[in-house]
């Protein structure tokens, strides 16, 4: 039996056994865990103290650039909703009635408006993320896992024979961990395997919190961190089977948290494609990307329009300034704001209230002196994941989902036309 000492934390010194080695090489890239930020919540906007005489020199806010707005969504009745959902769901989908019931239940629980647009937005995301599989199949998952293990083995200079010894341990179902890995098909299977490994270690949950690298799951590929944080500020309305991680991997739980991320927050957008971009890049990323475009115009600096106004480390604002912060600081006199005032307003970047902040209003006022500036833009982000076999971007994702959304509305409109024809009374001559 191989043994030794591991020092991840100055307050933790534990004997090294097979399961701890498994945790280290299969799960972690270091001792620090990744903690995702909590979901946005409403906060009071801090007031800026300015000299009225100086404020007068700042240009008045301009109207945003015109965009083709969606017509106000029509609310569907309960009877219309059931028929509409069944029509827009894939024809070969198993248990269509169950999917429809869960979607209606989720909309009711979150108080989301039951409109054709909102239901099609959710359907479009599900089609893109999982093709309506509650626990979607991941092609080549065993090879992906072994490739990640090999990278960690090389990083920690662990001999291949030691890795083989670790993976030969017998799991709870009598098969070795290597055999379990070789037959993995879904992320939930991998997540369950990892949770089992951690559970084998005394106080494993405390020693390795937030260690499970499977951070998304379910039919809408929801962030586990978002689900856990969301449940802390808003009661989860359904029975929890084990833990929230399991709920995310379930159909109803995945629909609940996915719909919350997509629709349960206020946005100034004129088209749903920007919500789709936010779903991929993070809430308010499209609004913030437009802010970065406006800032680039007035500062003369080339900025990445990724929707992150601050620099982040482990899900929290880092001490180092972002390029957006530096650009704002450089034009502080034109904005008539101090660095402290700028940084204070930037702390609101993940909240709806940022668009009412002095910083936001002044940047767009300056940028809009010559022409109105758009208040929404698709974030330019390259997507990286071991699951991706080609280069993908947030823009690609948003456009793909938007096309699925348009196709869904057409299916729904076709359904309404057929219903109207059927219900139309015969003409009497």
Quick: pLDDT tens for 237-286.
999 998 899 999 999 999 999 999 999 999 989 999 999 999 999 999 99
Residue 180, sorted as left (phi over 0), alpha (psi -120 to 50) or beta, turns out to be: alpha
- Would you say residue 152 has pLDDT above 70? yes
Q: Are 133 and 92 in contact (CB under 8 A)?
A: no
Residue with the bigger pLDDT between 72 and 384: it is 384
164 and 259 inside one domain: no
The pTM of this model reads: 0.77
Rounded mean pLDDT, 43-68: 39
Q: Average the pLDDT over each of 53-67, 267-281, 311-325, 395-409 and give the range with the smallest value.
A: 53-67
- What is the CB neighbour count within 10 angstroms for residue 145? 21
Is residue 39 in some structural domain? no
202 and 228 inside one domain: no
Q: Look at residues 202, 217, 232 and tell me which one is the last residue of a structural domain.
A: 217
Per-residue pLDDT of 169-201, as tens digits, reads 888 889 998 999 999 988 888 888 888 877 776
pLDDT at 210: 62
For residue 232, the enclosing domain spans 78-136+218-269+406-420
291 and 351 inside one domain: yes
Is residue 425 in some structural domain? no
Is residue 399 in some structural domain? no
The structure tokens 């070789």 sit at: 182
pLDDT at 201: 65
301 and 350 inside one domain: yes
pLDDT at 136: 81
Q: Average the pLDDT over each of 50-64, 103-117, 312-326, 361-375 and give the range with the smallest value.
A: 50-64
Burial tier of 268 (Cβ tally within 10 Å: 0-12, 13-18, 19+): middle
pLDDT at 22: 61
- Would you say residue 5 has pLDDT above 80? no
pLDDT at 97: 96
* C-alpha torsion sign, points 389, 390, 391, 396: negative
Is residue 44 in some structural domain? no
Is residue 213 in some structural domain? yes
d(CA 392, CA 70): 27
242 and 288 inside one domain: no
Tokens of 266: 């206020």
- What is the CB neighbour count within 10 angstroms for residue 402? 20
Is residue 249 in some structural domain? yes
127 and 230 inside one domain: yes
293 and 362 inside one domain: yes
Is residue 151 in some structural domain? yes
292 and 328 inside one domain: yes
- Would you say residue 51 has pLDDT above 70? no
Mean pLDDT for the chain overall? 81
Rounded mean pLDDT, 34-48: 34
Residue with the bigger pLDDT between 29 and 65: it is 65
pLDDT at 428: 46
Q: Average the pLDDT over each of 166-180, 197-211, 283-297 and give the range with the smallest value.
A: 197-211
Rounded mean pLDDT, 291-302: 97
Is residue 72 in some structural domain? no
What's the domain count of the chain?
3
Residue with the bigger pLDDT between 407 and 165: it is 407
- Would you say residue 4 has pLDDT above 50? no
- Would you say residue 47 has pLDDT above 80? no
Q: Are 311 and 317 in contact (CB under 8 A)?
A: yes
280 and 370 inside one domain: yes
Q: Are 59 and 365 in contact (CB under 8 A)?
A: yes
With both helix axes pointing from N to C terminus, report the angle between 394-423 and 78-88 in degrees, rounded to the nearest 10: 120
pLDDT at 387: 59
Per-residue pLDDT of 378-429, as tens digits, reads 999 998 766 556 689 999 999 999 999 999 999 998 766 555 455 455 444 4
Rounded mean pLDDT, 70-99: 88
Residue with the bigger pLDDT between 134 and 309: it is 309
Rounded mean pLDDT, 88-103: 95
Per-residue pLDDT of 8-29, as tens digits, reads 333 333 334 555 556 555 554 3
pLDDT at 53: 33
Rounded mean pLDDT, 316-325: 91
Per-residue pLDDT of 344-370, as tens digits, reads 999 999 999 999 999 999 999 999 998
181 and 108 inside one domain: no
Tokens of 313: 């480390």
- Would you say residue 42 has pLDDT above 90? no
pLDDT at 291: 98
pLDDT at 316: 82
- Would you say residue 127 has pLDDT above 90? yes
Nearest CA to 357 out of 269, 278, 284 is that of 284
314: Cβ–Cβ under 8 A, 6 or more apart, which residues?
32, 33, 34, 35
Residue with the bigger pLDDT between 75 and 272: it is 272
251 and 337 inside one domain: no
132 and 228 inside one domain: yes
């Amino acid at each position: 039996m191989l043994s030794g000492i591991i020092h991840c934390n100055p307050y933790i010194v534990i004997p090294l056994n097979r399961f701890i080695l498994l945790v280290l090489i299969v799960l972690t890239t270091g001792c620090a865990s990744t903690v995702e930020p909590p979901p946005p919540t409403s906060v009071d906007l801090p007031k800026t103290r300015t000299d009225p005489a100086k404020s007068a020199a700042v240009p008045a806010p301009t109207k945003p650039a015109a965009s083709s707005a969606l017509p106000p969504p029509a609310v569907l009745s309960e009877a219309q909703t059931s028929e509409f959902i069944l029509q827009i769901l894939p024809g070969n989908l198993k248990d269509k009635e169950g999917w429809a019931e869960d979607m209606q239940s989720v909309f009711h629980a979150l108080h989301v408006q039951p409109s054709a647009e909102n239901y099609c937005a959710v359907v479009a995301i599900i089609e893109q993320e999982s093709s309506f599989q509650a626990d979607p199949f991941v092609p080549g998952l065993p090879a992906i896992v072994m490739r990640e293990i090999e990278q960690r083995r090389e990083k920690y200079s662990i001999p291949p024979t030691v890795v083989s010894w670790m993976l030969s341990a017998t799991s709870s179902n009598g098969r070795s961990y290597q055999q379990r890995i070789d037959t993995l098909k879904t992320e939930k299977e991998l997540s369950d395997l990892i949770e089992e490994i951690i559970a084998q270690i005394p106080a494993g949950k405390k020693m390795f919190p937030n260690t499970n690298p499977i951070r998304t799951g379910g039919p809408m590929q929801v962030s586990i961190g978002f689900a856990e944080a969301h449940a802390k500020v808003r009661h989860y309305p359904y029975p929890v089977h084990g833990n929230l991680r399991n709920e995310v991997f379930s159909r109803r739980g995945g629909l609940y948290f996915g719909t919350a991320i997509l629709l349960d927050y206020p946005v100034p957008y004129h088209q749903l494609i920007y919500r789709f971009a936010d779903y991929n890049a993070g809430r308010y990323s499209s609004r913030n990307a437009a802010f970065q475009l406006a800032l680039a115009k007035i500062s003369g600096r080339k900025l990445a329009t990724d929707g992150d106004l601050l620099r982040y480390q482990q899900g929290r604002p880092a001490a180092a300034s972002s390029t957006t912060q530096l650009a704002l600081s450089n034009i502080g006199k034109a904005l008539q704001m101090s660095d402290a005032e700028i940084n204070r307003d930037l702390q609101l970047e993940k909240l709806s209230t940022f668009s009412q902040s002095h910083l936001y209003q002044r940047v767009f006022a300056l940028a809009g002196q010559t022409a109105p500036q758009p208040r929404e833009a698709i974030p330019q982000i390259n997507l990286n994941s071991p699951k991706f076999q080609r280069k993908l971007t947030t823009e690609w994702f948003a456009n793909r989902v938007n096309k699925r959304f348009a196709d869904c509305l057409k299916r729904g409109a076709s359904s309404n036309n057929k219903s109207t024809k059927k219900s139309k009374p015969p003409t009497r001559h």
